[in-house]
Amino acid sequence: MNTLPDRYDTKYRDMISELRRSAFDTDLLLSEQSCQDLNARVSSVSMNETITNPRRVEALQRDYERLGFQDLREPIKDFQTIPSGILSLQNLFYFCIHQKNDFIRFVLENSCKTLQQQCPLVKSAIEITRILCTLFSIGVEPNRHQIHKDYFLLFYIISSFFEQAFVRCLLLFNKTLKEMRACDVDFQVVSSVVYQQISQSLDDISLTNSSTIILNKTLASSSTNQIISSPRNKSILNTSLTSVTLQRFTFDYFSERLNTNNYKD
């Protein structure tokens, strides 16, 4: 989260190239080697040098713009921000590789809109990464006095939970922006709405409130001469809590809560 990408690291350049190829299939126009050579040439050329094949450079920069990059000459610079840093690029790469159809749909849907109406992919990815890092206290020093939410268990129960949550919340950001009929100047307003949606959805997973509800139901179903310490009620309570845990600590339940807490006009 607090790590900046090395602008000369080929690993990160390859990740950005893969984002572009996956969205626009530019391998049909340029070979992989020529794309890499062109990327290097665009990044290293000085203002006084003449770039060969200007049409190729324009095509690349046009693709980067459609992906939502701000720096079209060196797209990797978009991720040189703290917080989020290179983690945003890694999350986007996960989205591109593991949910390619949704990734392509996101890019093409927004590339057909005006710049003012688009949900900028890269900027939104950086913002969602920042929101998730804030909610999960990622990138901050541990505090033994801090009260940790039990939804942190999601990281131990669900494989690649953070990356999956990123993809789901990025799609939510795009959906919310459309439903709010927002434009580029409303970006932070949309961000605050999405933050509340995610925060509320995570709180809904918490077992603290569930335990109280289950306890009250158990007491209500018991006769007046029965108390919660009885073996029967203890068994009912433990069974109910186990059932709730199995139900709530799943990615499907998290997604369901995001839908329930969706933006309402």
Which residues in the chain land under pLDDT 50? 26-51, 211-219, 222-228, 233-234, 236-238, 240-241
Q: Give the 3-state secondary structure of residue 225.
A: coil
Q: How far apart are CA 222 and CA 14, in angstroms?
A: 63
Residue 28 lies in a domain: yes
Dihedral (CA of 133, 134, 140, 145) sign: negative
Residue with tokens 């605050």: 192
Residue 2 lies in a domain: no
Q: By the 8 A CB rule, do 125 and 170 touch?
A: yes
What pTM was computed for the model?
A: 0.74
- Residue 48: CB partners within 8 Å, gap ≥ 6? none
Residue 187 lies in a domain: yes
Residue 4 lies in a domain: no
Can you give the residue range of the structural domain that contains 171? 10-260
Q: By the 8 A CB rule, do 122 and 106 touch?
A: no
Residue 265 lies in a domain: no
Residue 75 lies in a domain: yes
Q: How far apart are CA 213 and CA 216, in angstroms?
A: 5
Question: Distance of CA 8 to CAs 37, 39, 77, 175, Å?
Answer: 13, 11, 11, 35
Residue 255 lies in a domain: yes
**Model confidence pLDDT, tens digit, residues 92-144:** 999 999 999 999 999 989 888 887 888 989 999 999 999 999 988 887 776 66
Q: How far apart are CA 128 and CA 45, in angstroms?
A: 33
Residue 211 lies in a domain: yes
Q: What is the pLDDT of residue 171?
A: 95
Q: Which two tokens stand for residue 50?
A: 């003449």
- Residue 222: CB partners within 8 Å, gap ≥ 6? 228, 230, 233
Q: How far apart are CA 99 and CA 167, in angstroms?
A: 8
How many domains would you assign to the chain? 1
